[in-house]
């Protein structure tokens, strides 16, 4: 009986700490990612091409050296954000991640895709249906298959045609 109450408290405290830590990890790491990108000079609402992924340039865990990455940090707190990126001759995708690291949206960017952008905000920012319900800060990521330096340069050059900006739907 002497250890019954301390034992019960141990179990309850352990469960509470376990749940708290476990559920805090994704948002903590995503927050650190935002901080890291910001420190590297990646502003909000601007597409930035990551350098070609090598041991020296890798910024995130497990990058694919065959892909050209572009990233945009955005925040829908003050209204929807319109996100778009040009299509690509090989494999390509545009994906959006929330603060919990969930991949809440992905679009095909290959040449035969009909993707022409998405409104990100709350609740349905675009009455046409090209929208994703979203609140707060997120990250958009473009992946393009670019295993050579020439293809990487070509992929990075597409950023001038990409959009990641606060905007009201038409």
Residues that bind other proteins (CB under 8 A): 3, 5-7, 9-23, 25-26, 29-30, 33, 53-56, 58, 60-66, 90-91, 93, 95, 97, 100-104, 106, 108, 139, 141, 145, 147
Quick one: how far is CA 5 from the chain centroid? 46
CA angle 60, 65, 67 (to 5 degrees): 90
Considering beta carbons, is residue 99 or 167 the nearer one to other proteins? 99
Whose tokens are 């990612």? That residue is: 33
Considering beta carbons, is residue 14 or 168 the nearer one to other proteins? 14
- E strands within 85-162? 92-97, 103-108, 118-121, 131-133, 137-145
Q: How far is the CB of 82 from other proteins (least distance, A)?
A: 21
Considering beta carbons, is residue 110 or 167 the nearer one to other proteins? 110
Q: How far is the CB of 127 from other proteins (least distance, A)?
A: 24
Q: How far is the CB of 90 from other proteins (least distance, A)?
A: 8
Q: How far is the CB of 168 from other proteins (least distance, A)?
A: 27
Considering beta carbons, is residue 19 or 168 the nearer one to other proteins? 19
Q: How far is the CB of 94 from other proteins (least distance, A)?
A: 10
Residues 6+ apart with CB under 8 A from 118: 82, 83, 84, 94, 96, 105, 107, 126, 130, 131, 132
Q: What torsion, rounded to 10 degrees, do the Cα atoms 36, 79, 159, 59 define?
A: 10
Considering beta carbons, is residue 22 or 160 the nearer one to other proteins? 22
């Amino acid at each position: 009986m002497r250890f019954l109450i301390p034992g019960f408290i141990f179990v309850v405290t352990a469960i509470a700490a376990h749940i708290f830590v476990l559920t805090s990890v994704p948002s903590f790491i995503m927050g650190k990612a935002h901080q890291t990108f910001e420190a590297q000079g990646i502003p909000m609402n601007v597409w930035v091409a990551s350098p070609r992924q090598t041991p020296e340039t890798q910024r995130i865990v497990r990058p694919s050296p065959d892909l050209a990455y572009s990233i945009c940090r955005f925040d829908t707190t003050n209204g929807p954000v319109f996100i778009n990126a040009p299509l690509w001759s090989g494999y390509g995708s545009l994906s959006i991640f929330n603060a919990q690291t969930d991949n809440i949206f992905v679009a095909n960017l290959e040449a035969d895709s009909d993707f022409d952008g998405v409104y990100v905000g709350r609740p349905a920012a675009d009455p046409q249906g090209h929208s994703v319900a979203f609140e707060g800060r997120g990250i958009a990521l473009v992946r393009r298959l670019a295993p050579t330096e020439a293809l990487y340069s070509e992929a990075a050059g597409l950023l001038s045609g990409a959009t990641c900006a606060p905007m009201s739907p038409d």
